[in-house]
């Protein structure tokens, strides 16, 4: 009875604290992710007040948080959208992977962490934060800008790539052999292809089966199906997160919209718990020794993300100012980086990987909104392409349209 009371007090204080941190972040219009990570550091190993009774429940909540994050991500896309993006924008996805995954892999190898840690850190540095970037675009009023589709195409390809990348990482961290890892990857690719085909051809039938006019029943069915599929996927070493992502893709139309509105509060709650859980397993004393590598990695991958966005926007025919805005907007890292690092921390492959990932994400989730706002003005000044110094813009050109898109928005 006493332990139950302690659990309720601990967990209640944790949720209350997260709510207050979220309100604080909302007031100053920045992502609450760094505050959640700092809260985990404060209440975890080596922190100010380590949690005891509620830690097991927080671990389960963190796993549900990852599943809901990926489910909601899948609900944002239809299978047709994903196939279209894959066909049209795959060169940008390749450039993105090469420029931003390699720095993480190289650093891990230079630090002597081995090839498995290199694959993990490559994923941490590769993937931008869809959630943070969506908030940035909304806050800056850029959702209607001409460069925004190029930004979104990069994010979509990264999300789709995770359906292949996560099973590979899961297999490597489990220590399975080359043959078993190949089987796992083949299963993941087969399931992904099958879900996309079924969603394109029979998505309405799947959505009709899940659909319900009663919000309570819709919530229970969608959540239940997602947890079952995630569990089966984890049993097959495919990754529970990928299973949840595929469920989201399979649902479309009114069902997807209804499920999104119903699940959003749950996603926010358990996602916050997930970030806290990651912080709980990171000793604050282990961060200072990896702070310099984290800063160096953040500096390099800030430059590579800006280059990625610039190239993608240029390929889409966007003017110079929009190219710089696209690059600066993509800098933020967040939920996916922590998900990938969390897999490595759980497996225990390299003790310093978790602290490095924590410091790296903290730096870039705070830097991301600044680069989104200031990359274009700074680049315009440095390159001498501001309106006052450049030749008159030809009406109807990409540059003219690009300038019009920024009026009153940046």
pLDDT in tens, 148-184: 888 988 988 888 788 778 878 877 887 755 555 667 6
Q: Produce one character per residue of 319-344: b if its CB has 16 or more CB atoms within 10 Å, e if not.
A: bbbbbbbbbbbbbbbbbbbbbbbbbb
CA distances from residue 18 to 28, 63, 139 in whole angstroms, order as listed: 16, 18, 22
pLDDT beneath 70: ranges in the chain: 1-3, 44-55, 176-182, 184-185, 188, 196, 200, 203, 237-238, 385-410
Q: Are 373 and 328 in contact (CB under 8 A)?
A: yes
Structure tokens at 351: 């003790």
- At 108 the pLDDT is 95
In Å, how far from its chain's centre is CA 40?
19
Q: Determine which helix (DSSP H) or strand (DSSP E) holds 80, and give its type and residue range.
A: helix 79-110
Asked if residue 260 lies in contact with residue 274, where contact means CB atoms within 8 angstroms, the answer is: no
* Helices and strands (H, E) in the chain, number of each type: 16, 0
d(CA 9, CA 3): 10
What per-residue confidence (pLDDT) applies to 177?
Answer: 54
Identify the pLDDT of residue 311: 95
CB 128 within 8 A of CB 332: yes
**Within 13 Å, how many C-alpha atoms sit on residue 83's CB side?**
14
Q: What are the pLDDT digits (tens) for 317-338? A: 999 999 999 999 999 998 889 8
pTM: 0.79
Structure tokens at 362: 């903290």
Q: Euclidean distance between the first and final Cα of the chain, in Å?
A: 56
CA angle 257, 261, 267 (to 5 degrees): 120
Q: How far apart are CA 99 and CA 311, in angstroms?
A: 11
Nearest Cα residue to 222 out of 258, 193, 197, 272: 258
Residue 342 CA to residue 118 CA, distance in Å, equals 15
User: What are the structure tokens assigned to 287, written together?
Assistant: 């961060």
Instruction: Give pLDDT, residue 45.
Output: 67
HSE, CB side, 13 Å, CA atoms: give it for residue 45: 11
pLDDT of residue 227: 92
List C-alpha distances in Å: 197 to 127, 204, 246: 26, 13, 12
Farthest-apart Cα atoms in the chain, separation: 77
Cβ contact 323:147 at 8 Å? yes
Question: What is the sign of the dihedral through the CA atoms of 379, 382, 387 and 391?
Answer: negative
The string of pLDDT tens digits covering residues 349-402 is 888 998 999 999 989 988 998 899 899 999 988 877 445 554 555 444 444 445
């Amino acid at each position: 009875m006493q332990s139950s009371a302690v659990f309720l007090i601990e967990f209640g204080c944790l949720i209350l604290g997260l709510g207050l941190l979220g309100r604080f972040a909302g007031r100053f219009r920045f992502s609450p992710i760094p505050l959640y990570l700092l809260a985990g550091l404060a209440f975890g190993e080596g922190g100010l007040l380590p949690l005891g009774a509620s830690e097991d429940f927080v671990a389960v909540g963190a796993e549900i948080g990852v599943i809901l994050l990926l489910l909601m991500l899948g609900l944002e896309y239809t299978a047709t959208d994903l196939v279209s993006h894959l066909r049209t924008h795959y060169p940008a996805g390749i450039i993105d992977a090469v420029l931003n995954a390699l720095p993480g892999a190289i650093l891990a190898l230079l630090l002597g962490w081995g090839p498995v840690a290199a694959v993990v850190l490559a994923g941490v540095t590769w993937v931008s934060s869809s959630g943070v970037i969506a908030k940035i675009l909304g806050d800056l009023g850029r959702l209607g800008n001409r460069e925004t589709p190029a930004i979104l195409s990069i994010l979509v390809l990264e999300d789709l790539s995770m359906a292949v990348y996560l099973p590979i990482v899961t297999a490597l961290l489990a220590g399975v052999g080359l043959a078993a890892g190949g089987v796992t990857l083949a299963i993941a690719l087969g399931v992904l292809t099958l879900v996309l085909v079924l969603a394109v051809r029979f998505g309405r039938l799947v959505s009709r089966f899940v659909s319900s006019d009663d919000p309570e029943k819709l919530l229970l069915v969608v959540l239940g199906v997602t947890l079952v599929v995630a569990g089966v996927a984890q049993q097959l070493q495919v990754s529970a997160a990928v299973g949840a992502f595929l469920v989201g893709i399979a649902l479309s139309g009114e069902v997807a919209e209804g499920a999104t509105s119903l699940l959003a509060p749950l996603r926010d709650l358990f996602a916050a718990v997930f970030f806290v859980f990651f912080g709980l397993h990171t000793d604050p004393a282990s961060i200072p020794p990896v702070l310099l590598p984290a800063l160096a990695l953040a500096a390099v991958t800030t430059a590579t993300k800006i280059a990625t966005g610039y190239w993608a926007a240029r390929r889409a025919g966007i003017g110079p100012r929009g190219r710089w805005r696209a690059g600066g907007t993509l800098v933020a890292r967040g939920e996916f980086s922590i998900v990938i690092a969390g897999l490595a921390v759980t497996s225990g492959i390299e003790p310093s990987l978790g602290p490095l990932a924590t410091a790296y994400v903290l730096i870039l989730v705070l830097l991301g909104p600044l680069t989104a706002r200031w990359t274009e003005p700074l680049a315009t000044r440095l390159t001498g392409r501001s309106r006052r110094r450049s030749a008159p813009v030809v009406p109807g050109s990409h540059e003219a349209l690009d300038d019009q898109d920024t009026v009153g928005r940046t």
